[in-house]
Amino acid sequence: MAEPVRAKEGPYHVDLEGGRTYFWCACGRSRKQPFCDGSHTEAGMDPLMFTPEEAEDAAALCGCKATGDPPFCDHSQPWCNAH
């Protein structure tokens, strides 16, 4: 299995609809970041499916793929604190 690619140094701020299912790109190869476009098949990784219970404006979804709380940015990486 390949390692994730850092798509961005910092989070993607996106509006999420409550009750809607999303697929967060865990491999970093998607061209539709932070969401999956199927590129993971070549990387041997799977996206993370999640469904927020409530709507969330400007949710911080991890761009570097090193979060300990996927799909959300946990600000554990030095570059995340600048965003």
- The per-residue pLDDT for range 11-57, each reduced to its tens digit, is 999 999 999 999 999 999 999 999 999 988 877 899 999 999 999 99
Residue 4 lies in a domain: no
Residue 45 lies in a domain: yes
H or E, element range at 25: none
pLDDT at residue 70 is higher than 70: yes
The residue with greater pLDDT, 44 or 73, is 73
Question: Which pLDDT does position 83 carry in this prediction?
Answer: 52
**pTM exceeding the 0.85 threshold for the entire prediction:** yes
Strand partners, 48: 24
Residue 40 lies in a domain: yes
**Domain range for residue 42?**
12-82
CA dist., res. 7 & res. 4, Å (int): 9
Question: Which pLDDT does position 2 carry in this prediction?
Answer: 79
pLDDT at residue 66 is higher than 90: yes
What spatial distance separates the first Cα and last Cα of the chain, rounded to whole Å? 30
**What total number of domains does the chain contain?**
1
